[in-house]
């Protein structure tokens, strides 16, 4: 009974499928029969009658009495024809036109006249013909297909299909559930107590093990990085020296090598550099220069001694690099064979010093060099290192070297300077990256401006280089000539040939554009040019007076606050404030020094409207354009020891350590530092905006 019950549903499904198949076959045959009938009916319209086809007659229109009428044979007439215009026949009744005949025969049976016109035979003949044709048509069963393929099902599959998913759920069983793996340490870890000391004071820097004996302790060799230790000690010694110097000044405020260490009227305090050292005795200071980046670094140029002292130093000039916070002694001592007329520091950190000589040579000192490659001299029980020049163009680059005394040497600050750190401490021991390169320009009095490329070698050669004869053995800095600019051609003027050749005295490059520069001359004119020989406007900066005069433009200085203005100090005592876009000065003061020549002029580094002036009568002037634009606001004569040279050092008041100081060189060889009062150091509110307004009004 179970097997019959299972077979019965299957048979029902088979019968159902068979019925559906028969229905589809029957429907298909019916559609074929209907399509054949339709084809026969379409062909019966053109059935030949009497051996020819009857054609439709195209209806034509005739114009009779202004109206159109149908012909006699038109199918639109129902019962007869009508007589138009009174032509004597009776009227016929017209019929509507027949509809298109497509499939059925019922319409032709109701309208026999239409059947005769289209050429159809009587209905009996059509049915006879269709019957004969249907006998000839048979269905073609040339292909077969399976509508249902149902393989037999075994008993197990049938059981699982019907009862396999009833009353089931998913479950799992874990055997020995409480047996969980854990990391268990059963052996005791051996430990050992040791000690260490950093930095180590001897060969033994660690210990404490009970098992280690004296042999093990002696076998410990510490790892010492000697260069790093030397750098650390050098930096630490400098910091300690500054602290000791401050403590000494605080505990002994009257300590000075000279008795005239007293502040001037416009300064709060003063300090004196220790120029009483044995190798500085009887040497006069001829030049002072301060670093524009590290404001505490100052270089002083000392002449030859008046008395013989030691053979190594008697015939040489001495340059001392000072840190004004350590006045007890110079940081570096340099020597030069020729008289130094001008000098400058490297533009991004004061570790290179460039100098121009009276013989037209350019010399360079690398202050980072090891002191062991230079001269040692023991003076008064103390050893001093005297550094010779790392590189010199004297007698080497004869074809491109200067043939006249140098008047100015300036670093060309460009993209290199902007990329480097410009705020590094002077006590920093971080070495600059190898391969640095920038430009330096040197100007002689004949109007030749040479541009040099400063190149740092990757490795120093202690044996010396055959190709670079001007390079010191063991040195890494050298100069390569880049370009020469003849300024004498641009300074010659028609009608003034009796003046002779124009002498150039000073040069300054624009802080915002290192390609442009201005040059001071001995005719009262300031030349404006470029390194690439491009046209600039204006070409000359003239004074307010017309014509050329025998007036020397001794000093030029640009504003350090980004303003396109510069100051020019002349030998007739006049001071001119020029703007880069105007030929004549914005402001000019002719009697500010009572006709005495201006030999020193420099902007303040802390206040945009303040600058300081020195004349040749040992007098110092302080100008504040916001307070008075007619003359200086303070004047200080320096006597009895007259003033020889002056430079300005200082840092902006970003913190409480901001200061502004004058470094003054006396005729006796003394050098003192005068720290100005706070009113000349601290900027007033909106000082730069007020200065711009003043310059705009001066236009």
Please compute the mean of the pLDDT values over residues 137-151 and round it to a whole number.
74
Burial of 309 (0-12, 13-18, 19+ CB in 10 A): middle
pLDDT, residue 431, reads 41
Helix (H, G, I), strand (E, B) or coil at 162: helix
Helix (H) or strand (E) holding 206: strand 206-207
Task: Kindly report the number of other CB atoms within 10 A of residue 74's CB atom.
Answer: 15
pLDDT tens, residue by residue, 643-699: 999 999 988 765 556 788 999 999 999 999 999 988 888 888 888 889 889 888 887
Please compute the mean of the pLDDT values over residues 381-401 and round it to a whole number.
86
Instruction: Please give the Cα distance from 518 to 536 (Å, whole number).
Output: 11
Better pLDDT: 605 or 34 = 605
Helix (H, G, I), strand (E, B) or coil at 486: strand
Please compute the mean of the pLDDT values over residues 255-274 and round it to a whole number.
71
- Beta-strand ranges (E) seen in 255-331 are 267-273, 285-290, 297-302, 317-323
pLDDT, residue 654, reads 58
Instruction: Please give the Cα distance from 368 to 474 (Å, whole number).
Output: 12
Question: CA nearest 451: which of 461, 442, 464?
Answer: 442
Better pLDDT: 409 or 163 = 409
Question: CA nearest 502: which of 549, 557, 558, 570?
Answer: 549
**Does 269 have pLDDT greater than 60?**
yes
At a CB cut-off of 8 Å and minimum separation 6, what does 417 contact?
347, 348, 438
**Does 390 have pLDDT greater than 70?**
yes
Residue that is written with structure tokens 């393929």 in the block: 149
- Is the peptide bond preceding residue 420 cis, with omega within 30 degrees of 0? no
Please compute the mean of the pLDDT values over residues 172-186 and round it to a whole number.
66
Where residue 250 falls among pLDDT bands split at 50, 70, 90? Answer: low
**Does 470 have pLDDT greater than 50?**
yes
pLDDT, residue 138, reads 72
Helix (H, G, I), strand (E, B) or coil at 363: strand
Q: Which residues pair with 12 in a beta bridge?
A: none
Q: Spell out the SS3 assignment of 19-61.
A: HHHHHHHHHHHHHHHHHHHHHHHHHHHHCCECCECCCCCCCCC
At a CB cut-off of 8 Å and minimum separation 6, what does 72 contact?
81
Please give the share of the chain, as a percent, with pLDDT higher than 70: 74
| 205, 295, 497 from 652: Cα distances, Å | 47, 10, 48
**Does 262 have pLDDT greater than 80?**
no
**Does 576 have pLDDT greater than 90?**
yes
199-203, 274-278, 554-558: segment of lowest average pLDDT: 199-203
Where residue 240 falls among pLDDT bands split at 50, 70, 90? Answer: confident
DSSP string, 106-151: HHHHH-HHHHHHHTPPPHHHHHHHHHHHHHH----------S----
């Amino acid at each position: 009974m179970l097997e019959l019950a299972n077979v019965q549903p299957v048979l029902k499904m088979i019968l159902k499928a068979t019925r559906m198949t028969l229905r589809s076959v029957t429907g298909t045959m019916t559609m074929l029969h209907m399509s054949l009938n339709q084809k026969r009916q379409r062909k019966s319209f053109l059935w030949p009658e009497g051996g020819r086809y009857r054609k439709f007659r195209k209806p034509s229109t005739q114009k009779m009495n202004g109206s159109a009428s149908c012909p006699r044979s038109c199918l639109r007439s129902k019962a007869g024809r009508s007589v138009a215009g009174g032509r004597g026949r009776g009227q016929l009744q017209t019929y509507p036109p027949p509809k298109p005949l497509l499939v059925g025969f019922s319409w032709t049976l109701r309208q026999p006249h239409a059947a005769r016109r289209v050429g159809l035979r009587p209905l009996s003949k059509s049915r006879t013909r269709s019957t004969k044709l249907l006998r000839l048509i048979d269905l073609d069963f040339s292909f077969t297909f399976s509508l249902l393929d149902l393989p037999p099902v075994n008993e197990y599959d049938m059981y699982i299909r019907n009862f396999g998913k009833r009353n089931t759920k998913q479950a799992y069983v874990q055997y020995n559930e409480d047996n969980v793996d854990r990391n268990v340490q059963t052996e005791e870890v051996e430990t050992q107590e040791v000690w260490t000391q950093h930095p180590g004071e001897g060969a033994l820097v660690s210990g404490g093990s009970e098992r280690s004996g004296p042999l093990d302790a002696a076998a410990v060799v510490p790892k010492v990085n000697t260069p790093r230790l030397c750098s650390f000690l050098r930096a630490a010694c400098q910091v300690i020296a500054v602290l000791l110097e401050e403590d000494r000044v605080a505990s002994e405020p009257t300590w000075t090598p000279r008795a005239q260490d007293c502040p001037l009227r416009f300064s709060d305090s003063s300090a004196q550099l220790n120029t009483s050292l044995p190798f500085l005795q009887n040497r006069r200071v001829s030049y002072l220069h301060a670093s524009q980046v590290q404001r505490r670094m100052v270089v002083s140029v000392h002449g030859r001694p008046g008395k013989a002292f030691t053979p190594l130093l008697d015939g040489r000039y001495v340059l001392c690099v000072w840190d004004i916070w350590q006045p007890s002694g110079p940081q570096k001592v340099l020597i030069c064979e020729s008289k130094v007329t001008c000098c400058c520091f490297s533009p991004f950190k004061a570790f290179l010093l460039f100098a121009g000589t009276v013989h037209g040579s350019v010399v360079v000192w690398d202050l980072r060099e090891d002191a062991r490659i230079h001269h040692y001299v023991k003076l008064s029980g103390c050893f001093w290192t005297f550094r010779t020049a790392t590189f010199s163009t004297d007698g080497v680059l004869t074809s491109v070297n200067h043939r006249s005394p140098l008047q100015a040497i300036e670093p060309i600050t460009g993209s290199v300077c902007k990329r480097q750190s410009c705020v590094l401490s002077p006590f920093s021991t971080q070495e600059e990256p190898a391969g640095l390169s920038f430009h330096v320009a040197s100007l002689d009095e004949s109007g030749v401006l040479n541009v040099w490329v400063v190149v740092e070698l990757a490795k120093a050669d202690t044996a010396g280089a055959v190709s670079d004869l001007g390079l010191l053995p063991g040195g890494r800095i050298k100069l390569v000539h880049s370009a020469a600019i003849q300024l004498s051609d641009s300074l010659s003027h028609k009608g003034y040939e009796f003046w002779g050749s124009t002498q150039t005295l000073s040069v300054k490059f624009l802080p915002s554009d290192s390609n442009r520069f201005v040059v001071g001359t001995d005719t009262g004119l300031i030349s404006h040019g470029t390194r690439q020989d491009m046209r600039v406007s204006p070409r000359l900066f003239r004074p307010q007076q017309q014509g050329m005069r025998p007036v020397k433009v001794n000093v030029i200085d640009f504003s350090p606050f980004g303003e396109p203005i510069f100051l020019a100090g002349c030998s007739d005592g006049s001071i001119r404030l020029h703007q880069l876009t105007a030929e004549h000065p914005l402001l000019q003061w002719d009697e500010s020094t009572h006709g005495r020549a201006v030999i020193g002029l420099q902007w303040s580094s802390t206040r945009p409207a303040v600058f300081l002036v020195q004349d040749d009568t040992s007098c110092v002037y302080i100008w504040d354009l916001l307070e008075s634009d007619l003359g200086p606001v303070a004047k200080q004569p320096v006597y009895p020891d007259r003033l020889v040279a002056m430079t300005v050092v200082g840092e902006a008041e970003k913190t409480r350590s901001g200061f502004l100081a004058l470094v003054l060189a006396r005729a006796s060889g003394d050098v003192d530092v005068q720290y100005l009062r706070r009113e000349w150091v601290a900027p007033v509110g909106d000082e730069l905006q007020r200065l711009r307004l003043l310059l705009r009004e001066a236009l």
